[in-house]
Every structure is written in C-alpha cells, then in structure tokens.
C-alpha cells in the first residue's frame, strides 16, 4: 500500500478511481481528482505548500511533485501526463499537457494547455509555455507548434492509456 501521510494535520485527499502504486508516497496538502495514477517510486509532497491535481492525471515512475515554502504552490490541470523521473516544482500546469521523461519544470513557470515539454528539458523559473506548442532543451525553448490532431493523439492518448494500465494493476491486486 502507498505511503499516505498527513503533515501538520493536513492529509491528502483523493477523487474516485485513483491508483497509487505500493511504494508511491503522497503526503500533506495534496488534493487529487478522479482517475489519477501515482506510479512506482513517485513522491507527491505537499508538506510546505499545497498541491492541486485535476482529473485523469498520471504521475509516472520516479517523478517528484513538490512546491516551495511560502512561495510557490503546485497546480496540475486535467488530462496531464508527468513522465518518468520528471520534477514538477512550484508551478502551474494547465489541461492536456505532457511533461516528458526527466523534464524539470521550476517555480512559477506556467505550462499552458495542449503543450508538450520534451524529455530532459528544463523549464526555468517564471517561464511561460505557450498553448499548442512543444518546448525542448536546456533551458526549454519553443521548437514547434502542434495542431489539435497531434494533441489528441499524443497527450490524450497517453492519459487514456494510463487509466487502462491502472486497471491492470487493480485486477492483479
């Protein structure tokens, strides 16, 4: 069973049909929507500020979601995939976003809807990522625009797959 722990009297809250891997950690002021998944070795740490996560969000293996004390909460919208070993810290991620494997999104960055942060990218503090675009590199810069069909296939497809994967693990358990 996942480690779910209150901090300063505030316990995480979960919507319906969420899957938390046995060694995932979710602590403190975390509110998660419906049909979310938190995978193996993942940490969602709302100890020093709040973390708000929408519906249909998957936080993949080894990822860290955190915030900054008295400075930066973390908000993640609906239909978001946070790739393996990514760090999402003190920022706002809007709906329909893919944060690639090993990417880092830093305090006060804003990732607008229907966008992709490429694997291994570093989104510096206060960066604003445009809707319908792909950002890549260190520091992350816009590399191209994406159309709604690509958004549907890439971003929504991954989120839907992770709901299916969650069902596989629930069936085994």
Q: Which domain holds residue 18?
A: 3-172
Q: By the 8 A CB rule, do 30 and 6 touch?
A: no
Beta-carbon contacts of 167 under 8 Å, excluding residues fewer than 6 positions away, are: none
- Spatial separation of the C-alpha atoms in residues 38 and 29, rounded to whole Å: 16
The enclosing H or E element of 170 equals helix 157-172
User: Model's pTM, two decimal places?
Assistant: 0.96
Distances in Å between the alpha carbon of 134 and those of 31, 38, 101, 107, 120? Answer: 28, 24, 14, 19, 13
Supply the pLDDT for residue 28. 98
Structural domain count, the chain:
1
* Gap between the Cα atoms of 66 and 49, Å rounded: 8
Neighbours of 153 (CB within 10 A): 11
The CATH number given to whatever domain includes residue 67 is 2.160.10.10
Are residues 144 and 127 in contact, defined by beta-carbon separation less than 8 angstroms? no
Q: Which helix (H) or strand (E) holds 14?
A: strand 13-14
Q: Report the pLDDT value the prediction gives residue 172, as an integer from 0 to 100.
A: 67
Taking the C-alpha atoms of residue 2 and residue 130, their distance in angstroms, rounded to an integer, is 35
Per-residue pLDDT of the chain (173 residues; tens, 9 = 90+): 899 999 999 999 999 999 999 999 999 999 999 999 999 999 999 999 999 999 999 999 999 999 999 999 999 999 999 999 999 999 999 999 999 999 999 999 999 999 999 999 999 999 999 999 999 999 999 999 998 788 878 899 999 999 999 999 987 65
Evaluate whether 31 touches 51 at the Cβ level (below 8 Å). Answer: yes
């Amino acid at each position: 069973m996942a480690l779910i722990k209150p901090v300063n009297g505030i316990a995480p809250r979960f919507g319906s049909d969420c899957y938390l891997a046995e060694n995932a950690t979710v602590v403190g002021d975390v509110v998660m929507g419906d049909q979310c998944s938190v995978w193996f070795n993942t940490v969602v740490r709302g100890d020093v500020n709040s973390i708000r996560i929408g519906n249909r969000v998957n936080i993949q293996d080894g990822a860290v979601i955190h915030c900054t004390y008295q400075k930066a909460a973390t908000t993640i919208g609906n239909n978001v995939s946070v790739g393996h070993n990514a760090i999402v810290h003190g920022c706002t991620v809007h709906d329909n976003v893919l944060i690639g494997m090993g990417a880092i999104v830093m305090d006060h960055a804003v990732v607008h809807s229907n966008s992709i942060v490429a694997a291994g990218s570093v989104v510096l503090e206060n960066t604003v990522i445009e809707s319908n675009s792909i950002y890549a590199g260190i520091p992350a810069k816009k590399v191209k625009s994406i159309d709604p069909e690509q958004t549907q296939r890439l971003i929504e497809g991954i989120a839907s797959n992770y709901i299916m994967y969650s069902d596989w693990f629930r069936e085994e358990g």
